[in-house]
Chain A
Amino acid sequence: MGALLSRDLRLAMRAGGGFGLGLAFFLLLAVLVPLGVGPEGGVLGKIAPGILWVGALLSCLLSLDRIFALDFEDGSLDLLATSPMPLEAVVAVKALAHWLVTGLPLTAVAPVLGVLLNLPVEGYGWLVLSLLLGTPALSVIGAFGAALVVGVKRGGLLLSLLVLPLYVPTLIFGAEVVKRGAAGLEVVVPLLLLAGITLGAAALLPFAAAAAIRVNLR
Chain B
Amino acid sequence: MIVEDLAVARGGVPVLEGLSFRLVAGAALILRGPNGVGKTTLLRTLAGLQPALAGRVSVPAESIAYAAHADGLKAVLTVEENLRFWAAIHGTGAVETALEAMDLRGLRGRMAANLSAGQKRRLGLARLLVTGRAIWLLDEPTVSLDAGSVALFGSVVRAHLAAGGAALMATHIDLGLAEAGVLDLSPYRAKAPAAGGRIGQFDEAFG
B205 adjacent to chain A (CB < 8 Å): yes
Say how far B13's CB is from chain A's closest CB, in angstroms: 13
B88 adjacent to chain A (CB < 8 Å): yes
Say how far A51's CB is from chain B's closest CB, in angstroms: 34
Within 8 A of B (CB), among A26-42: none
Tell me if A83 and B74 are in contact (CB < 8 A). no
Residue in contact with A3 in the complex, picked from B65, B73, B85, CB distance below 8 Å: B85
Total interface residues in chain A, CB < 8 Å:
25
Tell me if A217 and B88 are in contact (CB < 8 A). no
Neighbouring B residues of A11 by C-beta, 8 Å: 74, 76-77
Tell me if A3 and B48 are in contact (CB < 8 A). no
Tell me if B72 and A82 are in contact (CB < 8 A). no
Tell me if B66 and A4 are in contact (CB < 8 A). no
A154 adjacent to chain B (CB < 8 Å): no
Neighbouring B residues of A153 by C-beta, 8 Å: none
Query: Considering only CB atoms, which chain B residue lies closest to A7 in the complex?
Result: B85
Query: Considering only CB atoms, which chain B residue lies closest to A216 in the complex?
Result: B205
0/1 string, B66-79, CB within 8 A of A gives 1: 10111111111100
Tell me if A10 and B77 are in contact (CB < 8 A). yes
B62 adjacent to chain A (CB < 8 Å): yes
Tell me if A215 and B205 are in contact (CB < 8 A). yes
Of A73-81, A95-103, A116-124, A185-193, which binds chain B? A73-81
B89 adjacent to chain A (CB < 8 Å): yes
B91 adjacent to chain A (CB < 8 Å): yes
Within 8 A of A (CB), among B81-132: 81, 84-86, 88-91, 127, 131
Query: Considering only CB atoms, which chain A residue lies closest to B91 in the complex?
Result: A84
Query: Per DSSP, are chain A's interface residues mostly helix, strand or loop, or mixed?
Result: helix
Known contacts A84-B90, A84-B91, A217-B50; A79 and B66 CB within 8 A of each other: yes
Of A13-21, A169-177, A202-210, which binds chain B? A13-21
Q: How far is the CA of A28 from the CA of B72 in the complex (A)?
A: 35
Say how far B161's CB is from chain A's closest CB, in angstroms: 21
B49 adjacent to chain A (CB < 8 Å): yes
Tell me if B70 and A74 are in contact (CB < 8 A). yes
Known contacts A7-B77, A14-B76, A82-B49; A75 and B68 CB within 8 A of each other: yes
Say how far B30's CB is from chain A's closest CB, in angstroms: 21
Say how far B20's CB is from chain A's closest CB, in angstroms: 23
B51 adjacent to chain A (CB < 8 Å): yes
B27 adjacent to chain A (CB < 8 Å): no
Neighbouring A residues of B206 by C-beta, 8 Å: 215
Q: How far is the CA of A4 from the CA of B81 in the complex (A)?
A: 12
Tell me if A16 and B49 are in contact (CB < 8 A). no
Neighbouring B residues of A82 by C-beta, 8 Å: 47-49, 64-66
Tell me if A75 and B69 are in contact (CB < 8 A). yes
A112 adjacent to chain B (CB < 8 Å): no
A-B contact pairs, 25 of them (CB 8 A): A3-B85, A3-B88, A7-B85, A11-B77, A14-B77, A16-B76, A74-B71, A74-B72, A74-B73, A75-B70, A75-B71, A76-B72, A76-B74, A78-B49, A78-B68, A79-B72, A79-B86, A80-B89, A81-B48, A83-B86, A83-B89, A84-B90, A85-B89, A215-B206, A218-B51
Binding site for A on B (CB under 8 A): 47-51, 62, 64-66, 68-77, 81, 84-86, 88-91, 127, 131, 204-206
Pairs A-B, 9 closest by C-beta atoms: A75-B70, A3-B88, A76-B72, A218-B50, A14-B76, A75-B72, A79-B72, A7-B85, A82-B66
Known A75-B71, A218-B50; 5 more pairs at CB < 8 Å: A73-B70, A79-B66, A81-B48, A83-B89, A215-B206
